[in-house]
Structure 1
């Protein structure tokens, strides 16, 4: 059982630490708003991660890699990335007016980043592909007759490492924000927005390749 826990924990760190749209959006939100928005994007992405993980471990994610599902999921993810990328470019070009933090509740400040993270993760075709293969690999490693308890332990270890990474990533971005000037904040916002748009275009091209 210890091996199952370590495997799930390690795979969770590798899966979440890989650079991609979620980190890019966390960086964009975090350099402007600090630790909380960056953390909210990361936590929101766990909604999609958990959903695809459950489907993958149940053996259902492989069905979603079929063309009739693959293309719609990819296009939905592309639209999300294009929208968020456009927000990043707009914020860099015309930064929002400074708001009094006391005038904005923590819940309202984090709602947008939470939704953004969840939508990116749910609309990520790479999550589908990853868990479509990982589910079979985990089942093979645990054996054909793997007990449900072993799968639940693996899932719990994966999610525990994912939550840990949320705080590590948000803390890193918050530290980076404190070391940056306002000009560099806008540069990173614009760069992150452009990167999200490029990712969306590349995904769309791959979907129809």
Structure 2
């Protein structure tokens, strides 16, 4: 049982710490709004992770690896990345953009245009990116079978639940670590660098969307 827990903790850390769209969006929102929006993006992404993990561990690995599922998921994911990327670049370069608040001046809620007054926006963004990630589908399509094989054929439900719980605990821990690092970076940055990073993150999301579309649908 200890081995199952350690495996889940390790895979959760490796899976979530890998750089990608979720981290980029967390960085984009975090350098502008601090810990809370960055943390919200990370937590929102756990929704998609949990959905694909449950499907993979429940024995739907064969279904997840079917190519016909990849195209609509990829298309949806590309649209989400394009929208968020455009939002980020526009917020960084538009004339008359509101100045970046210093940490002592940050209000409890960010009401700037392009952001919601609650954490709902970052949460939804993280969830949509994770649900629309074809790599999550591929990963859990393979990981589900691998975990089942490691635990033995016909593994008891309790073992799968332990693995899933360990994975999610590790993932949640990474949410705090990632958001904390971004918040620390934000405190050390000037307004100019904040806008540069925000715009760069938005551009990176657009590039990721284009590269994913080209890779999936061909040139």
Structure-1-length-normalised TM-score = 0.95
Structure 1 stretches of 4+ moved >4 Å = 102-105
Deviation at 1:67, TM superposition (A): 2.5
Q: Are residues 1:53 and 2:53 paired? A: yes
Deviation at 1:64, TM superposition (A): 2.9
In the other structure, the counterpart of 1:16 is 16
In the other structure, the counterpart of 1:77 is 77
- Distance in 2, matches of 1:46 and 1:103, equals 23
- Distance in 2, matches of 1:52 and 1:166, equals 18
Note if contact 1:37-1:109 (Cα within 8 Å) is conserved in structure 2. Answer: no
In the other structure, the counterpart of 2:191 is 182
Note if contact 2:109-2:117 (Cα within 8 Å) is conserved in structure 1. Answer: no
In the other structure, the counterpart of 1:29 is 29
In the other structure, the counterpart of 1:97 is 98
Deviation at 1:207, TM superposition (A): 1.1
Partner SS for 2:118: helix
Note if contact 2:130-2:136 (Cα within 8 Å) is conserved in structure 1. Answer: yes
Deviation at 1:181, TM superposition (A): 0.2
CA displacement, residues 80-123 of structure 1 (integer Å, 9 cap, x when unaligned): 00000001100110274368725669x93311000000000000
Question: For residues 61 and 79 of structure 1, do their structure 2 counterparts lie closer, same or farther at Cα, with a shift above 3 Å needed?
Answer: farther
CA displacement, residues 34-53 of structure 1 (integer Å, 9 cap, x when unaligned): 00000000000000000000
Q: Are residues 1:116 and 2:125 paired? A: yes
Question: For residues 118 and 136 of structure 1, do their structure 2 counterparts lie closer, same or farther at Cα, with a shift above 3 Å needed?
Answer: same
Q: Are residues 1:162 and 2:171 paired? A: yes
Using the TM superposition, name which of 52-61 and 146-155 deviates more. 52-61
- Distance in 1, matches of 2:81 and 2:204, equals 9
Length, aligned pairs only:
208
In the other structure, the counterpart of 1:197 is 206
Question: For residues 122 and 61 of structure 1, do their structure 2 counterparts lie closer, same or farther at Cα, with a shift above 3 Å needed?
Answer: farther
Structure-2-length-normalised TM-score = 0.91
- Distance in 2, matches of 1:69 and 1:59, equals 16
Deviation at 1:158, TM superposition (A): 0.0
Structure 1: where are the runs of 5+ without partners?
none
Note if contact 1:62-1:129 (Cα within 8 Å) is conserved in structure 2. Answer: no
- Distance in 2, matches of 1:103 and 1:140, equals 47
Deviation at 1:68, TM superposition (A): 1.9
In the other structure, the counterpart of 1:4 is 4
Structure 2: where are the runs of 5+ without partners?
none
Question: For residues 147 and 102 of structure 1, do their structure 2 counterparts lie closer, same or farther at Cα, with a shift above 3 Å needed?
Answer: closer
